[in-house]
Structure 1
């Protein structure tokens, strides 16, 4: 397989280096069709590899919490995209072989394969195996004419074609399955933009969408005749107001012994002289005006920083890694420090590098932020964590994973 893929890669690279402009229009169309078929064939191979890696538990062996998270790091995918890949690989592995073969033949696309797999599973639950097999043939035939969206819509009435005697009773089951599919696909993604803003994207299930509409609805109305904000800007401001109201309500659970809060770091002189910008614990930067506005309704805590940004003092030490010491960890680590992890500070535990039970003290030099999964992973003893000369944590992998045991760092969190 490795040799075949290498040959295919060479052939594709040669095609990519070839100019398309000399081709006639019929040749361009033929080349497009061939490229599309090849893309689907490669998708079938990719799904088979993902399924085998997931079945072997490779992700957990290499320190990731799940196969989607490992694929995110390995293939530079988003976690939702990686999760859909794993789910489809599992569905096709346990489903009809005709679907896998159609994808391998380039007869259907990856999204069509997902739709057909979902629909056939519904038919199998509502009718019987022969009806499901007939549904596969019908849907693969339809896939040659209809895109995935229309194919899914047609699939809701597939029982009328393959098992009319149970179609009416199964309509309810199909609707319930569709609702469950939507629930599985729910997600919200926060993507950091180069200028420090966040892009919010996602898919809410019906209940969450209703809650969001009810919560921000009263806050999205124009504030008066002079309000020049467009609807999108009003929804943005309403969401920010909703977060402020929630934080002030004091009903959110604590994180690491601290109440839910917004942490802004700036210099004392810059704050008093209205000069400096501020930095959030997630690494984002705020304007001086925003820092001053937030400081009007905030608790100010002192922190002394060294020339390279190490936190030298944040008040008196405590036995537990909470309060000022935890804030120092957040300022330094920005989130889970394990390589490849993007968990934010609020999801992290404070870990003693030298365990407390073994005489380790509670100090910044002996602490590191780790999410729950990587906290358990470190305690199993395969990885070694230490502070480098610049005061930031680095991790030494086990020899079986990296014979050279080169120290690794987390590159997802911004460093100062």
Structure 2
């Protein structure tokens, strides 16, 4: 397979070096269609490889929390793109043979395969195997004529073509299935932007949408004729106000042993001089003005820092990694310290480098911040963790993964 792929790669490179301006219109159109077919065939091969790697558990064996996270680091993909790739691989793997053949032949694309697979599953559950076989043929034929969006729309009435005697009853079942999909597809994605802002995207189910509107609508009304905020800005401010109200209730669950709170780190001298920026416990930086606003209603905890931001003292030690010791870990590690992990501090636990049961003490020199997945992975794998000469954690991989066992560090979290 690798030899064939190398030959294909060489052929594609040769095509790229061929000047397109010298070709006729007919040749350009033919080349474009051939390129599209090749792209779909390569997509089929890629999905086959992803499915096999996912099935073998290669990603988790190498320390990643999932195949999607492993693909993100290995192929430098966005985690959303990587997750979608894993889902598509599973869809293609369970698709009927005719559909997989059509994808491998370049006749359909992966989005059309997803639509066909979901439609066929619905037909099978309502009309039986005979109608399902007919539906596969009809849908594959339609896919050669229509894109995925139109194909999905046509698929809602597929039973009119393959089982008209039960089409009306199936339409009602389809409505119930759509309601079930809405519940399944509810999600909220929080994406960090390069400048520290967050992009919120997602789909709320009917009930959650009603609750959100009830909570923010009263706060989105313009405050007066001088309120120049756009509707979108007013909704943004209303959501922030609702979150602040929730934090003030004191009824939210604890997070990492501490009450739910906004944690910001800054220098005391800079704060008093109103000059210094600060770092949130998510690792993001905020301006001096934002630091002062948050400090107006905050508890100030002292921490003594040495060179390179090493924490020297944060107050009294405890048996559990909570309170001041946890804050010290957040200050030092900025998130899960395992290489390649981008989980923020709020998702992490404190881990004893030398286990408590083995006589290890609860101190900053014997602790590291790990997300739940990597905390479990470290306890059940051959990875080891130690503190480097600068006091920051580094992880030694097992010999089967790296013969030289060179220590690795997390580079996702910014250091100050």
- TM-score norm. by structure 1 comes to 0.95
Q: C-alpha displacement at 1:357, in angstroms?
A: 0.7
Aligned to 1:166: 166
Alignment of 1:6-405 (within 5 A): 6-405=6-405
- How many Å separate the matches in 2 of 1:250 and 1:20? 66
What is the number of residues matched between the two proteins?
416
Structure 1 runs of 4+ aligned residues shifted over 6 Å read none
Q: Is the 8 Å Cα contact of residues 122 and 173 (structure 1) preserved in structure 2? A: no
Distance 1:59 1:185, change over 3 A: farther
| Gap regions ≥5 residues in structure 2 | none
- Output the CA distance in 2 between the equivalents of 1:17 and 1:225: 62
In the alignment, is the contact (CA less than 8 A) between 2:395 and 2:408 conserved in 1? yes
Q: Any conservation in 2 of the 1:216–1:235 contact (CA below 8 Å)?
A: yes
Q: What is the DSSP-based 3-state SS (H/G/I as helix, E as strand, rest coil) of the residue aligned with 1:21?
A: helix
Q: How well do the aligned residues superpose, as a CA RMSD in angstroms?
A: 1.7
Q: Which moved more, 1:349-358 or 1:89-98?
A: 89-98
Structure 2 contact 102–108 (Cα < 8 Å) conserved: yes
Find the aligned partners of 2:246 and 2:295 in 1 and give their Cα distance.
Answer: 19
Q: CA deviation at 1:324?
A: 0.6
Local SS of the residue matching 1:77:
coil
1:392 & 1:20 partners in 2: Cα distance?
53
SS in 1 for 2:21: coil
Which residue of 2 is the match for residue 413 of structure 1? Answer: 413
Tell me how far apart the structure 1 counterparts of residues 265 and 42 of structure 2 sit (CA, whole Å).
Answer: 48
Give TM-score scaled by structure 2 length: 0.95
SS at match of 1:394: strand
2:339/2:410 contact within 8 Å kept: yes
Distance 2:253 2:232 in 1: 30
Aligned pair in 2 of structure 1 residues 9, 205: CA closer, same or farther (>3 Å)?
A: farther
How far apart, CA to CA, are the structure 1 residues paired with 2:70 and 2:209? Answer: 30
CA distance in 1, matches of 2:182, 2:45: 27
* Residues 283, 344 of structure 2: 8 Å contact kept: no
What's the CA shift for 1:95?
A: 2.7
Distance 1:239 1:7 in 2: 54
Report the Cα offset of residue 187 of structure 1: 3.3
Query: 1:8 offset after TM fit, Å?
Result: 1.1
Unaligned runs of 5+ in 1: none
Structure 1 residues 202 and 77: CA distance shift in structure 2, 3 A: farther
Pairwise CA distance, 1:394: 1.0
The DSSP-based 3-state class of the residue aligned with 1:74 is: helix
Q: How far apart, in 2, do the equivalents of 1:235 and 1:160 lie? A: 44
